[in-house]
Amino acid sequence: MILNGIHIEIVKSKRKTASIFVERDGSVSARVPKDLSDQQIYELIEKYEYSIHRNLAEWRRTNERHVDRDFISGQSFIYFGRNYRLKLTDNETDGLKLYQGRFWLNKNQLNIAPDLFKSFYKSKLIDKVVPIVELYEKKLGVNANSVRVLELKNRWGSCSSKGNINLHWKCAMAPMEVLHYIVLHELVHLIHFDHSNAFWRDIEKIMPDYKDKVKWLELNGVGMDL
């Protein structure tokens, strides 16, 4: 759907209300009840036009903070909220290592450096996230069907109707308290599939300062990249 020059991806679902998102790549998507006609969807989205423009402007300001990282000695990379500098070495090491406060990488593996970082983040994140999932499952009285770390398009996490929790490998760059929020957010979707007031109330009951975590992601999420 095109609204005054803005392309909006429409996703229909069983939800009762509509939600509009400016994704991390600057694209706009809307999740709407599946029984709405195209005309009804257009009229509904039109009411949010000012908010869409405002959020796009905020996205542009935020993305001014984007960091382009090079795989050279001295370059910093984020790992659970802290920065660690990369050290290229001639020593015969296999893969990426975090040792003595630095990332170590053999110069001969520079051609696969992005893949090595992603693999490192994926393996470390799943180890950290499993006990966090178990913690909030008990608090919420829910059970996730599975927990996986993937390359997600524009989201930190997702929750399917089958109870499968997926997290972006980039979540390994977030501070632990922010990671707790991301996990809690997805698990509450096992109770509320939309972002209704009830959804946010259930998050607030367990994490009263969750808005601080949301704000952190808004301000720093663009830097959580390779």
- In the chain, domain spans: 2-65, 113-223
pLDDT of residue 22: 77
What's the whole-number average pLDDT of the chain?
89
pLDDT band at 18 (very low <50, low <70, confident <90, very high): confident
223 to each of 12, 67, 182, how far by Cα in Å?
Answer: 31, 6, 17
Contact (CB, 8 A) for 32 and 50: no
Confidence of residue 99 (pLDDT cuts 50, 70, 90): very high
- Residues in CB range of 149: below 8 A, 6 or more apart: 121, 122, 125, 126, 129, 166, 167, 168, 169, 171
Looking at residue 67, its pLDDT comes to 65
pLDDT value for 124: 96
How high is the pLDDT of residue 158?
92
Whether pLDDT at 119 is above 70:
yes
Which of 37-41, 87-91, 126-130 is predicted least confidently? Answer: 37-41
Biggest CA-to-CA distance, the chain: 64
Q: Is the pLDDT of residue 50 over 90?
A: no
Tokens at 25, concatenated? 């790549």
**Predicted local distance difference test score (pLDDT) of residue 159:** 92
Q: What is the DSSP string of 82-99?
A: EEEEEEEESS---S-EEE
- Residue 10, classed as helix, strand or coil, is strand
Pairing state between β 82-89 and 102-106: parallel
Q: What's the mean pLDDT in 116-135?
A: 96
- In this structure, what DSSP letter does residue 71 have? S
CA gyration radius, the chain = 20
Q: What percent of the chain is modeled with pLDDT above 90?
A: 57
In the predicted structure, residue 221 carries a pLDDT above the cut 90: no
Determine the average pLDDT of the residues in 72-84: 94
Supply the CATH classification number for the domain 113-223.
3.30.2010.10
pLDDT digits (tens, 9 = 90+) for 137-189: 999 999 999 999 999 877 899 998 899 999 999 999 999 999 999 999 999 99
* pLDDT reading at 61 higher than 70: no
